[in-house]
Amino acid sequence: MVFHFASERPPASSIIHLIVFNGAGLGWTGVDLFFVLSGFLITGILLDSKGSPGYLRVFFIRRSLRILPLYYLSVLASFSILPLLVSRFLNWRWPQVAPAEQLWYWFYIANWRTAFHPLVYPIATHLWSLAIEEQFYLFWPFVVLQCSRLRLLQISLAGILFAFLLRNLPWAQALGAAYPNSLYRLTPFRIDSLLFGACAALVIRDSHLMNQVSRWIKPAFLTGVAALGMVLADARSTSPHSAPMTRFGFTALGLTFVSAVLYSHLHAGDLSGIPHFLRSRLLRHFGRYSYAMYLFHIPVATFLPRLPATIWGGLLTGLVAVVTGVAITDGLARLSWFAIESPFLQLKDRFTPDRYANGRAHGQDIPVEQFSRAAGI
């Protein structure tokens, strides 16, 4: 959200500007953290429910209840409701989107369209990341079902290596030069972030492997950060589309974020420091509403009036834009949680592996895992 709400950056006139606006320019990496976390949580859910009756059915029902209602409401609003409202009450000209164009969004394949035409419909361009998520949800449960944990770890590591090598092929780099968003949004080039998370989910479920990996978490994190620093220095840009970033930066981010996830898991019970901060009320608040905030923040940024930027005023303007945008998005997400998401989430408790195995769809409630609920999963 910082990346999108502070997109208008004035020329840097001081070290403060350089740090603040370059930091905001790296805000897109939040999507990579989102992918790693999602691969970690979803793979964990699949591993823990594997072998239970209704494994696939329960997973897909629960995923559908979590993500589809709000997603499709957002797509409907973008293509039908918002155009009607702005044309009637604001007298704005709103681009009409052909039904064939809308299909990319209705069928969760928008990343394949926006990889080549990212701004074909700007208000919905951010849905590319959710499309990659949904494509992962559609095939990964079957892979988990058919493979042992060792084989699954081997497949995940092979997938990470495959994506890295694929992005470094000359024709892939040529594709990225011609269409800058192609290596950033096409599933085969981005699957490694999800698989980094899957590796973490497998590691923490094997005590011997966890003991072996734990000693390498900090070195891996520092290596990822150092590699990312070299990528930024080489590219002289924070853009996700530069050749150094696509060749090495995405892998460095995956290594950095998976190390952070494993570190957080190991120190989850600490009463101070980073783990304590990660349990703060503010972050748990954003975790609860994160899905709706992601869906809503681009439309909010589209309608948010742009304030005039000056050199020093630009810093204040960017801060005001971020705070205002986040506040509006948060308010809409709260309404969404209570009016739309929460009722559907309550239905998820009727579809758990234990309940399905017992053949019951009613009776005593089975609580959803607290962490998954707090993370919007």
Query: Please, is 363 exposed, middle or buried when counting C-beta atoms within 10 Å of its C-beta (0-12, 13-18, 19+)?
Result: exposed
Please report the pLDDT score of residue 362 as a whole number.
35
Please report the pLDDT score of residue 57 as a whole number.
92
Judged by phi (left if over 0) then psi (alpha if -120 to 50, else beta), residue 262 lies in alpha
Contact 306, 312 (CB under 8 A): no
What's the pLDDT tens digit per position in 34-65?
999 999 999 999 999 998 888 999 999 999 99
Please report the pLDDT score of residue 373 as a whole number.
47
How many other C-beta atoms can be found within 10 angstroms of the C-beta atom of residue 26?
A: 16
Please report the pLDDT score of residue 264 as a whole number.
92
Please report the pLDDT score of residue 315 as a whole number.
60
Q: What is the reported pTM?
A: 0.88
Please report the pLDDT score of residue 369 as a whole number.
45
6, amino acid identity: A
Please report the pLDDT score of residue 351 as a whole number.
80
Q: Which of 228, 257, 222 is nearest to 240 (CA)?
A: 228
- d(CA 98, CA 102) in angstroms, rounded, equals 6
Please report the pLDDT score of residue 347 as a whole number.
86
Task: Return the ∠ at Cα 164 (arms to 159 and 168), rounded to 5°.
Answer: 140
Please report the pLDDT score of residue 364 as a whole number.
35
**Assigned token pair, 282:** 């503010």
Query: Please, is 279 exposed, middle or buried when counting C-beta atoms within 10 Å of its C-beta (0-12, 13-18, 19+)?
Result: middle
Please report the pLDDT score of residue 346 as a whole number.
87
SS3 30: helix
Please report the pLDDT score of residue 317 as a whole number.
67
Residue 9, CA distances (Å) to 23, 311, 319, 321 in order: 11, 9, 11, 11
SS3 367: coil
Query: Which segments of the chain have a pLDDT < 70?
Result: 7-22, 305-318, 354-377
- d(CA 274, CA 263) in angstroms, rounded, equals 10
